[in-house]
Structure 1
Amino acid sequence: MTQPLRESMMAELSQLMKEGRLRTLPASGERKGAWHLHEGRRMLNLSSNDYLGIGSDTELLDGYLERCRAGSGESWMASTSSRLLVGNHHLYDELESRLAALYGKEGGLVFNSGYHANTGILPALAGRHDLILSDRLNHASIIDGARISDAKFMRYRHLDYAHLEELLEAARGSYRQVFIVTESVFSMDGDIADLARLVELKRKFDAMLVLDEAHGVGTFGTGGLGVSESSGLVDSVDIIIGTFGKAFASTGAYAVMDALVKEYLVNTMRPLIFTTALPPMVLGWSALVLERQCRMHQERRVLQHSAAWLRKELTASGFEVLGESHIVPVLMGDNERAVRVAADLRRNGVLALPIRPPTVPRGTARIRLSLRADLSAGDLQHVAKLLGREAL
């Protein structure tokens, strides 16, 4: 490493420290239900994406491990190959067929992560004659996927569909294909895309609509299929992307689509072609939790009711609280206050980490409360009381 590069890195890290944005990798301890062992102390965990509490279902896990031990003796722990070589275990086919059936789509594909999905699908489909229009607050993986592609990339103002329509009108007839890309539930603001309006614009301008349901699956819809299901618009979305790594408490991601798009992605999507396949044990667990969450209707109702109650209480305390979902961001403004409030919460047994730029825009640092279905009324009241004290 040259001295100029070393000095540049040190200067940037020093600046991050001055701005209260220097990050470190925290040690992660034992988890039990809604509780987490953090820095040697048992804390209420409001920084997890285990929205339904499946990750803490030891009975479900123990039963699955017994099934694995009683299996055929094949290696369940590793795949050692890409799917296009010898890594395409039959559990892939079964899981993808089940996903397609649940959504009523022709095809499903499973990926190693949501990041793989979003940095692979758009570059495979969108070329130099195409246009990608992305919500400004879409996840970094969507932005990276759009930038990797050869397509022209533009962002419309967050949830501003009049602005999106202006961009679509200006692009009419200039591109082979226009792609509209959005999250359903936005992970940092907790708000929800107007899917009906997006579908209307997609149809008007003959665009393809790509919907990332990472924080919507498990938490919305009768069967936990996301906002597309709760809106009754599954059939109107061209590609729906979901993750196993949040409410489903597994790892990996998936997308559902028509048969032509699936075949094309298998042949052109680099993160699928050049990635070692997931271990069979992961695929089997994903299939199991997928079926489990489909039946968790009461947990979904409890989760959204808890979020509505807490948002109302914190707003009454004087906070600006964003969103309308199980993600409850409480605005702090500057980084220093967000860090201080988070530290006070930890001292009082609540793990809710501060979210700071560049993850969110400057001046909008926040405490992001990720709620779970297994939180008690007492847990929620404790959090509301602690934060209410900070508002004084």
Structure 2
Amino acid sequence: MKDYQKLLNDLASKGCLRSLPHVVHDGKWIERNGQRMLNLSSNDYLGLANDTGLRNEFLDSLRASSLPLSSSSSRLLTGNFTVYEELEQLLAHTFGREAALVFNSGYHANTGILPALADKQTLLVADKLVHASIIDGLLLSGVSFLRYRHNDYDHLEQILQKETSRYEQVIVATESIFSMDGDVADLNRLVSLKRNYPNVMLYVDEAHAIGVRGARGLGVAEECGCLQEIDLLVGTFGKAMASMGAYVLCSQVIRDYLINTMRPLIFSTALPPAQIAWTTFLFRRLLQMESRRQHLAAISRRLAAVLHGHGGEISNSHIVPFIVGENEECVWTAEQLQRHGFYCLPVRPPTVPKGTSRIRFSLTADMTDEEINHLVAHLSEGINA
């Protein structure tokens, strides 16, 4: 039998031991051990999870409805409430796509869609830095897969030139905004590559872009003008949308096929109808949130500028890395930031490559200019010391 305590001790000796934090949440603030800190590790990018006005407005409408707090079944049995269909129709209409399908989480989406669509005549090709859920989707598919160097589309094209004739279909998978570096994929270049190969499908995960990018908040695909060109456009509701769940926009045929073959959808109890109603409530208000998106973009640029040369130059989004290097130094830096009132967490291998441990600053639209000024001043002092 394995000595799990020894394995834990080994993780501790490498500075990689993790534990669940005991914290108290108060809006955009975190309280721990009597200290109040600005939460710079949240994915609540638009600040909607902390918006009591929106929450109270929704709860008033929920009280007047008969929506249960549990679906009590999978969607293929008795869990397919009309609010699901209303949300999916709203998504498809808003994005101008033929169909949409809602899932329990982004992890469910990425570990379910790829294995459902892939067979032995399929090659999966993914960016080197895609999220763990996409990697798990590649592994669960049980088919051949390759990785191209991060955002290196010349390398991707070399793979496509060599491999596409050998397979019935090739699915290229990427994120639009990458979760650890905050950099952005060139979706127009990917669409251009796809057009050259009739058997290539494009799979884009907009988990960190939905809500915060594009004129209507529909993500980087909207920003790039290619909403109709991406075969499988995936996003989550658990980040900027302040809810839970995920979606894919696709053709009606693909939607029907996923309903019949996607295991996480078929064998999971559906999300509570009340949760779906909250998602719909927020999604209908996306167009009204342009001022939040603009403020978030402005404070993100300021933070990236002060961290230029330390990871800030990599970011083109509200996720700004502060690359420290070794695990121990990164943990120490995070602790120092926390002592000064900034709740930041160290990100270490295997989440990021060895030697690139970092503080991942995750900004939200409810942070004020004054709060960002305080952070920028503290970082500038430390970097220039």
Q: So what's the TM-score if we normalise by structure 2? A: 0.97
1:358 match: secondary structure: coil
Q: 1:65 aligns with which of 42, 55, 59?
A: 59
1:67 shift after superposition: 1.5
SS of residue matched to 2:57: helix
Matches within 5 A, 1:4-19: 4-5=1-2, 7=3, 9-19=4-14
SS at match of 1:56: coil
Contact 2:311–2:320, Cα closer than 8 Å, also in 1:
no
Provide the residue aligned with 2:38 in structure 1: 44
Contact 2:39 2:343 in 1 (8 A): yes
State which of 197, 210, 216 in structure 2 corresponds to 1:217. 210
Q: Counterparts in 2 of 1:1-392, with a 5 A limit?
A: 4-5=1-2, 7=3, 9-32=4-27, 34-72=28-66, 74=67, 76-206=68-198, 207-315=200-308, 319-321=310-312, 322-391=314-383, 392=385
C-alpha displacement at 1:133, in angstroms? Answer: 0.3
Which deviations, in whole Å up to 9, do the C-alpha atoms of 1:87-137 show, x marking residues without a partner? 000000000000001111111111000000000000000111110000000
- Percentage of identical aligned residues: 49
- C-alpha separation between the residues in 1 aligned to 2:54 and 2:209? 23
Letter in 1 for 2:81: H
Question: What 5-or-longer segments of structure 1 have no aligned partner?
Answer: none
Where structure 2 has 5 or more consecutive residues not aligned to the other structure, the ranges are none
The code of the aligned residue for 1:61 comes to R
Amino acid at match of 2:33: E
Question: Would you say the 8 A contact 2:306–2:379 is kept in 1?
Answer: no
Task: Output the CA distance in 1 between the equivalents of 2:356 and 2:113.
Answer: 31
Distance of 2:189 and 2:7 partners within structure 1: 42
Write out per-residue CA displacement over residues 230-276 of structure 1, whole angstroms, 9 at most, x where no aligned residue.
00000110011010000000011111111100000001100000000
Offset, 1:370? 0.4
Q: Structure 1: which amino acid aligns with 2:22?
A: A
What's the CA shift for 1:388?
A: 2.2
Do the aligned residues in 1 keep the contact of 2:216 with 2:290 (CA within 8 Å)?
yes
Residue 352 of structure 1: how far off its partner (Å): 1.1
* Aligned-partner residue type, residue 38 of structure 2: L
Distance 1:166 1:178 in 2: 14
Aligned residues: 382
